[in-house]
Amino acid sequence: MTFKRSFPPVVDAQTRVLILGSLPGEASLAQQQYYAHKQNRFWHLVGDVIGEDLPAMAYADRLQALLAHRIGLWDVVAQARRTGSLDGNIRDHSGNDLVTLTDGLPQLGSIAFNGGTAARIGERILAAHARRYRVERLPSSSPAYAGMPYAAKLAQWHVLRECLADGGRGR
């Protein structure tokens, strides 16, 4: 089993909210695109939060729309062994350098984890460093997390509006 690797971060100096997933799944790795699996609801959730039809856009335009709304994107796992796409199958992982990335984002106020695995790994990597930011644990956008209906996920993802509106630090 070979190591699977994350993609480069999608951020710029204006990034206010950083959404962190775990590690791209098989469809994403094959297409070299974040959240490429057709049943993953990430682009729908974020699009509904920011009022943009992200699923209808070309991939490069989606990324530009995120940046225009001051949203960044990355993964907590730099590389890992994993059979299939399930987070539960992640083995021998090494984390991305979240501390260096977040230190280089002067406008960053909030970090949002897309799912429990991303939160567990990311919170360990950031440890005390995360106190500088508002940290949100969001329900996973993955099709594997089917126990929560879309409307309920969206209700929780709407916290990103607050993060964007208040600079990310308020609560």
Residue 40: active-site member? yes
**Spatial contact of 150 and 41, defined as CB atoms under 8 Å apart:** yes
Q: What is the distance, to the nearest Å, from the Cα of residue 97 to the centroid of all Cα atoms in its chain?
A: 15
Q: Which of 40, 89, 96, 114 is catalytic?
A: 40
Tell me how far apart the 2 most distant CA atoms of the chain are, in Å: 44
Q: What is the DSSP letter of 132?
A: G
Q: Where are the beta strands (DSSP E) in 3-120?
A: 3-5, 17-21, 71-75, 77-81, 91-95, 110-114
**Residues designated as active site:** 40
